[in-house]
Structure 1
Amino acid sequence: MTNDKNLVVSTDGSALSNPNGPMGWAWADHEGGDADAGGASNGTNQIGELCAVLQALRAHPGERPLVIETDSQYAINCSTTWVPGWKKKGWKNSQGKPVKNRPLIEAIDREIQARTGSVRFVWVKGHAGNTFNEKVDTLARGYATAAGKGDREGCLPIEGWRSLLASPYAQGTQVPPAVKAELDGGPQVLDELGRKKDRLDQEEQKDLAETAVESEAVDAEQAESVETTADADNGTPDPGMADGQEDEPSRDLKDTSDTDTVDQDTKNSGARGLRASGRIRITPPPSGSSMFTGHDLHIVGSIDIDADIDPDGYVTIKEAPFRLHAIEVED
Structure 2
Amino acid sequence: MAFICGTCSREFTLPSAVLAKYPNWTPKQCMDCRDKPSPAGPAKAAKPKSKGSSVTRTQDLTTAEVLARFDGGPAHGIFTDGSSRPNPGPGGWGAVFVRDNAVIEQRHGADPWTTNNRMELTALIAGLEMAPPAESVIVFSDSQLVVNTLTKWARGWEGRGWKRKEGEIANLDLVKRAWELVQQRPNARIEWIRAHDGSRWNEYADALSTAHLRSEV
| TM-score of the superposed pair, with normalisation by structure 2 | 0.60
Give the Cα–Cα distance (whole angstroms) in 1 for the partners of residues 130 and 113 of structure 2. Answer: 24
4+ runs of 1 displaced by more than 3 Å?
none
Which sections of structure 1, spanning at least 5 residues, go unmatched? 1-5, 147-205, 209-331
Give the Cα–Cα distance (whole angstroms) in 1 for the partners of residues 130 and 163 of structure 2. Answer: 29
Give the Cα–Cα distance (whole angstroms) in 2 for the partners of residues 80 and 100 of structure 1. Answer: 16
- Cα RMSD of the aligned pairs, angstroms, is 1.9
Per the alignment, residue 94 of structure 1 pairs with: 165
The answer on whether the counterparts of 2:81 and 2:119 sit within 8 Å (CA) in structure 1 is: yes
Per the alignment, residue 105 of structure 1 pairs with: 175
Tell me the SS of whatever aligns to 1:105: helix
The answer on whether the counterparts of 1:22 and 1:43 sit within 8 Å (CA) in structure 2 is: yes
Q: Which amino acid aligns with 1:90?
A: G
For residues 96-123 of structure 1, the C-alpha deviation after alignment (integer angstroms, 9 at most, x for no partner) is x2211111111111112122x5011221
Tell me the SS of whatever aligns to 1:30: strand
Give the Cα–Cα distance (whole angstroms) in 1 for the partners of residues 184 and 192 of structure 2. Answer: 23
Give the Cα–Cα distance (whole angstroms) in 1 for the partners of residues 133 and 154 of structure 2. Answer: 23
Which sections of structure 2, spanning at least 5 residues, go unmatched? 1-74
The answer on whether the counterparts of 1:13 and 1:23 sit within 8 Å (CA) in structure 2 is: yes
Q: CA deviation at 1:60?
A: 2.1
Per the alignment, residue 124 of structure 1 pairs with: 193
Task: Give the structure with higher Rg (CA).
Answer: 1
Give the Cα–Cα distance (whole angstroms) in 2 for the partners of residues 140 and 47 of structure 1. Answer: 12
Q: Provide the identity percentage.
A: 29
* 1:8-157 alignment runs, 5 A limit: 8-19=77-88, 21-31=89-99, 32-33=102-103, 34-95=105-166, 97-115=167-185, 118-143=187-212, 145=213
Q: CA deviation at 1:85?
A: 2.0
Residues 1:141 and 1:125: Cα distance change in structure 2 (over 3 Å): same
| TM-score of the superposed pair, with normalisation by structure 1 | 0.40
Residues 1:139 and 1:74: Cα distance change in structure 2 (over 3 Å): same
The answer on whether the counterparts of 1:23 and 1:42 sit within 8 Å (CA) in structure 2 is: yes
Give the Cα–Cα distance (whole angstroms) in 1 for the partners of residues 164 and 196 of structure 2. Answer: 30
Give the Cα–Cα distance (whole angstroms) in 1 for the partners of residues 182 and 204 of structure 2. Answer: 24
Tell me the SS of whatever aligns to 2:121: helix
What is the number of equivalent residue pairs in this alignment?
A: 140
Give the Cα–Cα distance (whole angstroms) in 2 for the partners of residues 131 and 7 of structure 1. Answer: 11
The answer on whether the counterparts of 1:69 and 1:124 sit within 8 Å (CA) in structure 2 is: yes
Q: CA deviation at 1:7?
A: 5.7
Q: Which amino acid aligns with 2:154?
A: V
The answer on whether the counterparts of 2:131 and 2:188 sit within 8 Å (CA) in structure 1 is: no
Q: Which amino acid aligns with 1:207?
A: E
Tell me the SS of whatever aligns to 2:82: strand
For residues 67-90 of structure 1, the C-alpha deviation after alignment (integer angstroms, 9 at most, x for no partner) is 011111011112121112212332
The answer on whether the counterparts of 1:7 and 1:64 sit within 8 Å (CA) in structure 2 is: no
Tell me the SS of whatever aligns to 1:50: helix
